[in-house]
Structure 1
Amino acid sequence: MKTYLVVSALSVAALFAAPACAQQLVPAGSEIAFTSKQMGVPVDGKFRKFEAQVSFDPKKPEAAKIAFTIDLASVSLGAAETEAEVVKPDWFDTKKFPQASFQSAAVKPAGAGKFEVTGKLTIKGASQNVVVPVALSQASGITTATGGFVLKRLDYKIGDGDWKDTSMVANDVQVKFKLALTGVGAL
Protein backbone atom coordinates (compact mmCIF):
# COMPACT_ATOMS: atom_id res chain seq x y z
CA MET A 1 0.00 0.00 0.00
CA LYS A 2 1.17 3.47 0.73
CA THR A 3 3.61 2.05 3.22
CA TYR A 4 6.22 1.79 0.55
CA LEU A 5 6.23 5.57 0.51
CA VAL A 6 7.57 5.50 4.00
CA VAL A 7 10.56 3.66 2.62
CA SER A 8 11.11 6.52 0.21
CA ALA A 9 11.04 8.99 3.04
CA LEU A 10 13.72 7.08 4.83
CA SER A 11 15.89 7.38 1.79
CA VAL A 12 15.40 11.08 1.80
CA ALA A 13 16.43 11.15 5.36
CA ALA A 14 19.65 9.49 4.45
CA LEU A 15 20.36 12.14 1.92
CA PHE A 16 19.89 14.94 4.35
CA ALA A 17 22.07 13.45 6.99
CA ALA A 18 24.78 15.71 8.33
CA PRO A 19 26.78 15.94 11.64
CA ALA A 20 26.99 19.13 13.67
CA CYS A 21 29.67 21.67 14.19
CA ALA A 22 28.29 25.15 14.60
CA GLN A 23 25.60 24.41 12.06
CA GLN A 24 22.00 24.04 13.13
CA LEU A 25 19.02 22.58 11.32
CA VAL A 26 16.10 24.97 10.84
CA PRO A 27 13.12 22.58 11.10
CA ALA A 28 10.58 25.05 9.67
CA GLY A 29 12.55 25.23 6.40
CA SER A 30 13.46 21.53 6.18
CA GLU A 31 11.67 18.53 4.72
CA ILE A 32 12.27 14.88 3.92
CA ALA A 33 9.77 13.56 1.39
CA PHE A 34 9.36 10.49 -0.78
CA THR A 35 7.33 9.15 -3.66
CA SER A 36 6.69 5.50 -4.34
CA LYS A 37 4.28 3.78 -6.65
CA GLN A 38 1.50 1.42 -5.72
CA MET A 39 0.00 -0.38 -8.69
CA GLY A 40 1.60 2.30 -10.89
CA VAL A 41 0.04 5.22 -9.00
CA PRO A 42 2.43 7.69 -7.30
CA VAL A 43 2.05 7.93 -3.52
CA ASP A 44 3.66 10.87 -1.72
CA GLY A 45 4.74 10.99 1.89
CA LYS A 46 7.09 12.73 4.30
CA PHE A 47 8.60 12.38 7.74
CA ARG A 48 7.60 14.92 10.37
CA LYS A 49 10.47 14.24 12.84
CA PHE A 50 14.15 14.05 11.97
CA GLU A 51 17.44 15.42 13.26
CA ALA A 52 20.67 16.30 11.49
CA GLN A 53 24.13 16.92 12.89
CA VAL A 54 26.29 18.80 10.41
CA SER A 55 29.91 19.83 10.43
CA PHE A 56 30.56 21.27 6.98
CA ASP A 57 32.92 23.86 5.54
CA PRO A 58 32.28 24.46 1.82
CA LYS A 59 36.00 25.23 1.40
CA LYS A 60 36.99 21.85 2.95
CA PRO A 61 34.21 19.40 2.03
CA GLU A 62 36.47 16.38 2.54
CA ALA A 63 36.47 17.12 6.30
CA ALA A 64 32.65 17.15 6.54
CA LYS A 65 30.78 15.01 9.03
CA ILE A 66 27.10 14.43 8.37
CA ALA A 67 24.72 12.34 10.46
CA PHE A 68 20.98 12.04 10.28
CA THR A 69 18.25 10.22 12.19
CA ILE A 70 14.60 9.90 11.22
CA ASP A 71 11.74 8.93 13.51
CA LEU A 72 10.04 6.29 11.33
CA ALA A 73 6.78 6.49 13.26
CA SER A 74 6.50 10.16 12.22
CA VAL A 75 5.65 9.19 8.64
CA SER A 76 2.86 11.19 7.07
CA LEU A 77 0.98 9.72 4.11
CA GLY A 78 -2.28 11.62 4.36
CA ALA A 79 -4.31 8.57 5.44
CA ALA A 80 -4.47 7.37 9.06
CA GLU A 81 -5.07 3.71 8.09
CA THR A 82 -1.99 3.68 5.84
CA GLU A 83 0.13 5.37 8.50
CA ALA A 84 -1.01 2.72 11.02
CA GLU A 85 -0.03 -0.05 8.56
CA VAL A 86 3.48 1.16 7.67
CA VAL A 87 4.73 1.04 11.26
CA LYS A 88 3.97 -2.72 11.42
CA PRO A 89 6.66 -5.45 11.07
CA ASP A 90 6.21 -6.02 7.32
CA TRP A 91 7.03 -2.37 6.67
CA PHE A 92 9.06 -0.23 9.12
CA ASP A 93 8.62 -2.33 12.24
CA THR A 94 8.96 0.79 14.39
CA LYS A 95 8.68 -1.07 17.69
CA LYS A 96 11.89 -2.94 16.87
CA PHE A 97 13.50 -0.28 14.63
CA PRO A 98 12.25 3.18 15.68
CA GLN A 99 14.78 5.15 13.62
CA ALA A 100 16.50 5.20 10.27
CA SER A 101 19.98 6.72 10.17
CA PHE A 102 22.60 8.04 7.78
CA GLN A 103 26.30 8.54 8.44
CA SER A 104 28.56 10.19 5.88
CA ALA A 105 31.84 8.60 4.84
CA ALA A 106 32.99 11.14 2.22
CA VAL A 107 31.95 14.45 0.69
CA LYS A 108 33.38 15.53 -2.67
CA PRO A 109 32.89 18.72 -4.67
CA ALA A 110 30.86 18.20 -7.88
CA GLY A 111 30.77 21.73 -9.34
CA ALA A 112 29.80 25.19 -8.12
CA GLY A 113 27.61 24.73 -5.03
CA LYS A 114 27.29 21.00 -5.70
CA PHE A 115 28.59 18.05 -3.72
CA GLU A 116 28.46 14.27 -3.73
CA VAL A 117 27.82 12.77 -0.30
CA THR A 118 28.67 9.10 0.19
CA GLY A 119 27.60 7.28 3.32
CA LYS A 120 25.76 4.44 4.99
CA LEU A 121 21.98 4.44 5.20
CA THR A 122 20.48 2.10 7.79
CA ILE A 123 16.79 1.23 7.83
CA LYS A 124 15.18 -1.65 9.71
CA GLY A 125 18.59 -3.06 10.66
CA ALA A 126 19.80 -3.25 7.03
CA SER A 127 22.64 -0.98 5.90
CA GLN A 128 23.55 0.05 2.36
CA ASN A 129 26.08 2.49 0.95
CA VAL A 130 24.42 5.37 -0.87
CA VAL A 131 25.69 8.27 -2.97
CA VAL A 132 23.59 11.42 -2.82
CA PRO A 133 24.03 14.49 -5.01
CA VAL A 134 23.45 17.67 -3.00
CA ALA A 135 23.10 21.25 -4.20
CA LEU A 136 23.65 24.19 -1.84
CA SER A 137 22.26 27.71 -2.06
CA GLN A 138 22.57 30.58 0.38
CA ALA A 139 20.35 33.55 1.22
CA SER A 140 19.85 35.68 4.34
CA GLY A 141 22.19 33.58 6.51
CA ILE A 142 20.48 30.29 5.62
CA THR A 143 22.13 27.55 3.60
CA THR A 144 19.66 25.26 1.86
CA ALA A 145 20.79 21.77 0.89
CA THR A 146 18.58 20.01 -1.65
CA GLY A 147 18.89 16.64 -3.28
CA GLY A 148 17.38 13.30 -3.91
CA PHE A 149 18.10 9.69 -4.69
CA VAL A 150 16.36 6.43 -5.46
CA LEU A 151 16.07 3.89 -2.66
CA LYS A 152 15.46 0.19 -3.31
CA ARG A 153 12.93 -0.67 -0.57
CA LEU A 154 13.60 -4.42 -0.66
CA ASP A 155 17.30 -3.79 0.13
CA TYR A 156 16.04 -2.60 3.54
CA LYS A 157 13.38 -5.30 4.01
CA ILE A 158 10.63 -2.73 3.67
CA GLY A 159 7.51 -4.46 2.45
CA ASP A 160 8.10 -8.05 3.57
CA GLY A 161 5.70 -10.93 3.09
CA ASP A 162 3.05 -10.38 0.43
CA TRP A 163 4.41 -6.86 -0.14
CA LYS A 164 7.62 -8.16 -1.76
CA ASP A 165 5.66 -8.31 -5.04
CA THR A 166 6.99 -5.29 -6.95
CA SER A 167 4.01 -5.35 -9.33
CA MET A 168 1.90 -4.14 -6.39
CA VAL A 169 4.39 -1.77 -4.73
CA ALA A 170 7.39 -0.65 -6.80
CA ASN A 171 10.86 -1.40 -5.46
CA ASP A 172 12.13 2.10 -6.36
CA VAL A 173 11.31 4.91 -3.97
CA GLN A 174 12.29 8.46 -4.90
CA VAL A 175 13.59 10.34 -1.87
CA LYS A 176 13.87 14.14 -1.91
CA PHE A 177 15.05 16.47 0.78
CA LYS A 178 15.49 20.13 1.61
CA LEU A 179 17.51 21.02 4.67
CA ALA A 180 17.79 24.58 5.91
CA LEU A 181 20.94 25.19 7.98
CA THR A 182 22.47 28.11 9.83
CA GLY A 183 26.19 28.57 10.48
CA VAL A 184 27.55 27.30 7.15
CA GLY A 185 30.42 29.32 5.66
CA ALA A 186 30.15 31.14 2.34
CA LEU A 187 30.11 29.01 -0.81
Structure 2
Amino acid sequence: MRTRLLPALWLTLAMAGGVSAQTSKIVSGSTKFSVKFILGTCNGTFDAPRGEAVFNEKNPENASFDLKIAASTFKTNNNSRDKDMKSDKYFWVEKYPDIRFKSSKVEKKGDKYQATGTLTMRDVAKNVTLPFAAARNADGTYSLTSTFEVNRLDYRIGEKDWKLKDIVTVMLQATIR
Protein backbone atom coordinates (compact mmCIF):
# COMPACT_ATOMS: atom_id res chain seq x y z
CA MET A 1 0.00 0.00 0.00
CA ARG A 2 1.22 3.45 -0.61
CA THR A 3 3.01 4.97 2.35
CA ARG A 4 0.75 7.98 2.49
CA LEU A 5 -2.43 6.04 3.08
CA LEU A 6 -1.75 3.65 5.90
CA PRO A 7 -1.13 6.39 8.41
CA ALA A 8 -4.81 6.94 8.54
CA LEU A 9 -5.37 3.26 8.64
CA TRP A 10 -4.71 3.12 12.30
CA LEU A 11 -4.19 6.73 12.94
CA THR A 12 -7.42 7.98 11.55
CA LEU A 13 -9.41 5.77 13.79
CA ALA A 14 -8.02 7.36 16.88
CA MET A 15 -7.61 10.80 15.48
CA ALA A 16 -10.80 12.48 16.42
CA GLY A 17 -11.33 13.46 19.99
CA GLY A 18 -13.42 15.81 22.03
CA VAL A 19 -13.69 19.50 21.47
CA SER A 20 -11.08 20.11 24.13
CA ALA A 21 -7.51 18.90 23.75
CA GLN A 22 -7.77 16.01 26.15
CA THR A 23 -6.85 12.39 25.71
CA SER A 24 -9.69 10.34 24.29
CA LYS A 25 -10.22 6.61 24.01
CA ILE A 26 -11.64 4.66 21.10
CA VAL A 27 -15.09 3.40 22.12
CA SER A 28 -15.91 1.52 18.91
CA GLY A 29 -14.59 1.07 15.42
CA SER A 30 -13.60 -1.21 12.60
CA THR A 31 -10.61 -1.92 10.40
CA LYS A 32 -11.36 -3.36 6.97
CA PHE A 33 -9.10 -4.06 4.02
CA SER A 34 -9.24 -5.33 0.47
CA VAL A 35 -6.56 -6.61 -1.87
CA LYS A 36 -6.91 -7.91 -5.41
CA PHE A 37 -5.63 -11.37 -6.28
CA ILE A 38 -5.88 -13.75 -9.20
CA LEU A 39 -9.39 -14.96 -8.28
CA GLY A 40 -10.88 -11.52 -7.55
CA THR A 41 -10.75 -9.40 -4.41
CA CYS A 42 -9.99 -10.60 -0.91
CA ASN A 43 -11.85 -8.63 1.75
CA GLY A 44 -11.06 -8.90 5.42
CA THR A 45 -10.95 -7.25 8.82
CA PHE A 46 -8.83 -6.65 11.86
CA ASP A 47 -10.29 -5.79 15.25
CA ALA A 48 -10.91 -2.11 15.92
CA PRO A 49 -7.84 -0.06 16.75
CA ARG A 50 -7.05 0.71 20.36
CA GLY A 51 -5.07 3.59 21.76
CA GLU A 52 -5.23 7.25 22.59
CA ALA A 53 -6.08 10.41 20.72
CA VAL A 54 -5.80 14.10 21.48
CA PHE A 55 -7.98 16.08 19.09
CA ASN A 56 -9.52 19.53 18.93
CA GLU A 57 -11.19 20.43 15.66
CA LYS A 58 -10.39 24.11 16.25
CA ASN A 59 -6.68 23.37 16.83
CA PRO A 60 -5.81 20.27 14.84
CA GLU A 61 -2.12 21.20 14.98
CA ASN A 62 -2.21 20.20 18.68
CA ALA A 63 -3.69 16.77 17.90
CA SER A 64 -1.83 13.50 18.45
CA PHE A 65 -2.61 9.83 17.92
CA ASP A 66 -1.03 6.66 19.19
CA LEU A 67 -2.93 3.68 17.77
CA LYS A 68 -2.42 -0.05 17.67
CA ILE A 69 -4.17 -2.88 15.86
CA ALA A 70 -3.65 -6.47 16.94
CA ALA A 71 -2.17 -8.26 13.90
CA SER A 72 -3.48 -11.60 15.22
CA THR A 73 -7.07 -10.44 14.59
CA PHE A 74 -6.62 -10.72 10.79
CA LYS A 75 -9.75 -12.39 9.35
CA THR A 76 -10.88 -13.22 5.80
CA ASN A 77 -13.32 -16.07 6.55
CA ASN A 78 -10.82 -18.58 5.16
CA ASN A 79 -9.10 -20.41 8.02
CA SER A 80 -6.21 -21.71 5.91
CA ARG A 81 -5.45 -18.25 4.46
CA ASP A 82 -5.84 -16.56 7.85
CA LYS A 83 -3.40 -18.99 9.47
CA ASP A 84 -0.88 -18.42 6.64
CA MET A 85 -1.21 -14.61 6.93
CA LYS A 86 -0.41 -14.80 10.65
CA SER A 87 2.76 -16.83 9.99
CA ASP A 88 6.33 -15.57 9.62
CA LYS A 89 5.77 -15.30 5.82
CA TYR A 90 3.38 -12.38 6.32
CA PHE A 91 2.46 -10.61 9.59
CA TRP A 92 4.45 -12.94 11.91
CA VAL A 93 2.07 -12.18 14.76
CA GLU A 94 4.02 -14.14 17.38
CA LYS A 95 7.02 -11.84 16.99
CA TYR A 96 5.20 -8.63 15.91
CA PRO A 97 1.79 -8.62 17.62
CA ASP A 98 0.81 -5.01 16.82
CA ILE A 99 0.52 -2.71 13.86
CA ARG A 100 1.13 0.80 15.19
CA PHE A 101 0.64 4.36 14.04
CA LYS A 102 2.05 7.25 16.07
CA SER A 103 1.43 10.74 14.73
CA SER A 104 3.95 13.56 14.62
CA LYS A 105 1.72 16.17 12.94
CA VAL A 106 -1.97 16.69 12.21
CA GLU A 107 -3.32 19.41 9.94
CA LYS A 108 -6.57 20.46 8.33
CA LYS A 109 -6.76 20.23 4.54
CA GLY A 110 -9.98 21.74 3.21
CA ASP A 111 -12.87 20.08 5.03
CA LYS A 112 -10.76 17.04 6.00
CA TYR A 113 -7.60 16.34 7.97
CA GLN A 114 -4.37 14.50 7.51
CA ALA A 115 -2.11 12.89 10.06
CA THR A 116 1.57 12.40 9.44
CA GLY A 117 3.53 9.95 11.55
CA THR A 118 5.23 6.60 11.76
CA LEU A 119 3.44 3.43 10.67
CA THR A 120 5.12 0.26 11.91
CA MET A 121 4.38 -3.29 10.75
CA ARG A 122 6.66 -6.19 11.55
CA ASP A 123 10.00 -4.49 12.18
CA VAL A 124 9.57 -1.86 9.47
CA ALA A 125 8.74 1.77 10.35
CA LYS A 126 7.82 4.25 7.61
CA ASN A 127 6.79 7.89 7.68
CA VAL A 128 3.28 8.17 6.19
CA THR A 129 0.50 10.73 5.82
CA LEU A 130 -3.05 9.48 6.23
CA PRO A 131 -6.16 11.40 5.20
CA PHE A 132 -9.15 11.35 7.53
CA ALA A 133 -12.54 12.92 8.15
CA ALA A 134 -13.84 13.82 11.61
CA ALA A 135 -17.49 14.45 12.51
CA ARG A 136 -18.86 15.40 15.93
CA ASN A 137 -21.82 13.24 16.97
CA ALA A 138 -24.85 14.42 18.96
CA ASP A 139 -23.59 12.56 22.06
CA GLY A 140 -20.26 14.47 22.03
CA THR A 141 -18.20 11.64 20.55
CA TYR A 142 -16.33 11.97 17.27
CA SER A 143 -16.51 9.63 14.32
CA LEU A 144 -13.28 9.34 12.38
CA THR A 145 -12.94 7.66 9.01
CA SER A 146 -10.00 7.08 6.73
CA THR A 147 -9.38 5.20 3.51
CA PHE A 148 -5.83 4.80 2.26
CA GLU A 149 -3.56 2.42 0.44
CA VAL A 150 -0.48 0.61 1.68
CA ASN A 151 2.12 -1.32 -0.26
CA ARG A 152 2.45 -4.57 1.69
CA LEU A 153 5.96 -5.16 0.31
CA ASP A 154 7.18 -1.92 1.93
CA TYR A 155 6.55 -3.64 5.29
CA ARG A 156 7.80 -7.12 4.33
CA ILE A 157 4.26 -8.53 4.35
CA GLY A 158 4.81 -11.44 1.96
CA GLU A 159 6.90 -11.41 -1.18
CA LYS A 160 6.30 -10.30 -4.75
CA ASP A 161 3.77 -12.71 -6.23
CA TRP A 162 1.95 -12.55 -9.58
CA LYS A 163 -1.17 -13.99 -7.92
CA LEU A 164 -1.45 -11.22 -5.29
CA LYS A 165 -1.36 -7.47 -5.81
CA ASP A 166 1.04 -5.37 -3.71
CA ILE A 167 -1.40 -2.54 -2.91
CA VAL A 168 -3.88 -3.02 -0.08
CA THR A 169 -6.76 -0.61 0.50
CA VAL A 170 -7.49 0.04 4.17
CA MET A 171 -10.73 1.51 5.52
CA LEU A 172 -10.72 2.64 9.13
CA GLN A 173 -13.58 3.85 11.26
CA ALA A 174 -13.44 4.81 14.91
CA THR A 175 -15.62 6.56 17.42
CA ILE A 176 -13.71 8.34 20.17
CA ARG A 177 -14.83 9.85 23.43
TM-score (norm: length of structure 2): 0.87
The answer to whether residue 172 in structure 2 is matched with residue 177 in structure 1 is yes
Q: Return closer, same or farther for 1:176/1:143 CA change in 2, 3 Å cut-off.
A: same
Are the aligned partners of 1:151 and 1:172 in contact in 2 as well (CA < 8 Å)? Answer: yes
Q: Return closer, same or farther for 1:15/1:153 CA change in 2, 3 Å cut-off.
A: farther
- CA separation in 2, counterparts of 1:181 and 1:10? 17
- CA separation in 2, counterparts of 1:158 and 1:19? 29
Are the aligned partners of 1:17 and 1:69 in contact in 2 as well (CA < 8 Å)? Answer: no
Percent of aligned positions with the same letter in both sequences? 24
What residue number does 2:127 align with? 129
SS of residue matched to 1:154: helix
Are the aligned partners of 1:18 and 1:65 in contact in 2 as well (CA < 8 Å)? Answer: yes
Within-5 A mapping of 1:18-97:
18=15, 21-27=22-28, 30-39=29-38, 41-97=40-96
Question: 1:173 is aligned with what amino acid?
Answer: V
SS of residue matched to 2:83: helix
- CA separation in 2, counterparts of 1:149 and 1:140? 27
- CA separation in 2, counterparts of 1:130 and 1:49? 20
SS of residue matched to 2:87: coil
State the Cα distance separating 1:52 from its structure 2 match: 2.4
Are the aligned partners of 2:44 and 2:76 in contact in 1 as well (CA < 8 Å)? Answer: yes
| Count, aligned residues | 169
Are the aligned partners of 1:9 and 1:34 in contact in 2 as well (CA < 8 Å)? Answer: no
Runs of 4+ aligned structure 1 residues displaced above 3 Å come to: 8-11, 17-22
- CA separation in 2, counterparts of 1:127 and 1:102? 9
TM-score (norm: length of structure 1): 0.82
Q: Return closer, same or farther for 1:12/1:73 CA change in 2, 3 Å cut-off.
A: same
The answer to whether residue 17 in structure 2 is matched with residue 16 in structure 1 is no
How far does the alpha carbon of each residue in 1:125-148 deviate from its partner, in whole angstroms, 9 at most, with x for none?
A: 101111111111122222111111
